[in-house]
């Protein structure tokens, strides 16, 4: 029997190599080792960033699966990532899923961060929420906006410093400020001098002040005692005071009634005030009493008038009339 030729050997070796290459390709395309079962998880996110299919799924830095498929969600707003994860690794419901990047410019992957060991394990086909990846462009835009705001703030600060330099740090302003400080210093010195004088006055007049305060306290005590006595007197003579006030009220009413009678012309006094004839008679009576009192004062009560002469009767009558008029 002839040994196999070199061509046959080379062909057999190439066939085996192709088969192994195919197996390895299929294995790496699924992201799993041959003979190991896997479970499927569906991640929902609003932005997948630069995620690609066959990207790795890392749990604590260890690759436990791959991103098998990417598609748009049924609502048209979210992106769904179908993960193939080995069943040997238990992923619990409270775990956190995030799309991260390997290094600064490396490929993106799905990172799983476990939270606890008591939560329920995720079943095959479960849907979980995934955090959005870090977007360098958005960060650059935000940084650009922040830089612009910082620039605007710096400009405003420069304007403020310029205004302060023109107004506050002006030569006239500084001169006025120095003058104000000097006046304030002088005022404080005078205030200290006045305080020293007041202290000296108080120190030298401490006994009189103490005596005055003592007298004032005694006066207050006496005044309080007097108030207490007055209150006691009022309390003891409450009925008498009430009766006196009642009598005064009655007297005022009687005086008011008399005044009303006088005003209306009732009674003798009212007639004197209102009746003209009574007023004339009263004036005549008063005049006669005046003449009588004058004669009594001049001649006495025992004076006997002389008999009138016949020739001078008229003159005596006239003199008596004049006396009556007086």
DSSP string, 101-164: ESTTTS-EEEEEE---SSSPBPPTTEEEEEEPPP-HHHHHHHHHHHHHHHHHHHHHHHHHHHHH
Are 45 and 25 part of one and the same domain? no
Give the model's pLDDT for residue 16: 84
Give the model's pLDDT for residue 275: 67
First to last CA, the chain: 205
Give the model's pLDDT for residue 135: 66
Give the model's pLDDT for residue 163: 81
Quick check: is 102 in a domain?
A: yes
Are 25 and 43 part of one and the same domain? no
Domain that holds residue 7: 1-30
Are 6 and 92 part of one and the same domain? no
| Neighbour count for residue 316 (Cβ, 10 Å) | 14
Residue 143 tokens read as 């940084």
| Neighbour count for residue 147 (Cβ, 10 Å) | 10
Give the model's pLDDT for residue 243: 83
Could you give phi then psi for residue 127, rounded to 5 degrees?
Answer: -105, 130
Give the model's pLDDT for residue 1: 45
Quick check: is 47 in a domain?
A: yes
Whole-number Å distance between alpha carbons of 63 and 65: 6
Are 149 and 94 part of one and the same domain? no
Quick check: is 84 in a domain?
A: yes
**In contact, 60 and 89? CB cutoff 8 Å:** no
Quick check: is 206 in a domain?
A: no
Give the model's pLDDT for residue 247: 83
Domain count, the chain: 4
Give the model's pLDDT for residue 326: 45
Residue 169 tokens read as 């740090």
Give average pLDDT by consecutive 10-residue segment, the chain, 326 residues: 67 83 64 63 84 86 88 86 88 88 76 88 88 71 80 86 75 80 88 86 79 86 87 82 83 80 66 68 79 74 61 51 48
Give the model's pLDDT for residue 323: 52
| Partners of 57 in the β-ladder | 65, 110
Share the mean pLDDT of the chain: 78
């Amino acid at each position: 029997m002839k040994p196999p030729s070199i061509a046959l050997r080379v062909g057999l070796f190439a066939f085996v190599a192709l088969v192994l290459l195919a197996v390895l390709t299929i294995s790496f395309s699924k992201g799993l080792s041959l003979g190991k079962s896997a479970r499927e998880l569906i991640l929902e996110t609003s932005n997948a960033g630069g995620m690609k299919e066959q990207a790795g799924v890392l749990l604590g830095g260890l690759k436990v699966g791959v991103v098998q498929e990417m598609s748009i969600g049924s609502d048209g707003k979210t992106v769904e990532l179908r993960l193939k994860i080995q069943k040997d690794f238990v992923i619990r419901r409270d775990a956190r899923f995030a799309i991260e990047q390997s290094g600064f410019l490396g490929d993106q992957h799905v990172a799983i961060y476990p939270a606890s060991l008591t939560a329920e394990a995720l079943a095959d086909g479960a849907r979980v929420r995934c955090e959005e990846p870090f977007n360098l462009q958005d960060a650059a835009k935000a940084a650009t906006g922040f830089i612009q705001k910082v620039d605007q703030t710096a400009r405003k600060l420069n304007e403020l410093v310029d205004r302060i330099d023109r107004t506050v740090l002006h030569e006239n302003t500084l001169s006025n400020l120095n003058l104000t400080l000097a006046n304030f210093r002088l005022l404080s010195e005078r205030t200290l001098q006045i305080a020293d004088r007041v202290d000296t006055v108080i120190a030298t007049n401490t006994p009189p002040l103490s005596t005055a305060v003592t007298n004032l306290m005694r006066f207050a005590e006496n005044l309080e005692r007097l108030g207490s006595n007055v209150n006691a007197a009022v309390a003891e003579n409450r009925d008498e005071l009430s009766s006196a006030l009642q009598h005064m009220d009655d007297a005022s009413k009687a005086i008011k009634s008399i005044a009303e009678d006088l005003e209306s012309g009732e009674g003798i006094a009212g007639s004197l005030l209102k009746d003209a004839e009574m007023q004339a008679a009263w004036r005549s009576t008063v005049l006669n009493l005046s003449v009588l009192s004058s004669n009594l004062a001049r001649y006495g009560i025992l004076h006997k008038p002389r008999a009138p002469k016949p020739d001078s009767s008229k003159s005596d009558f006239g003199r008596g009339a004049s006396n009556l008029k007086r």
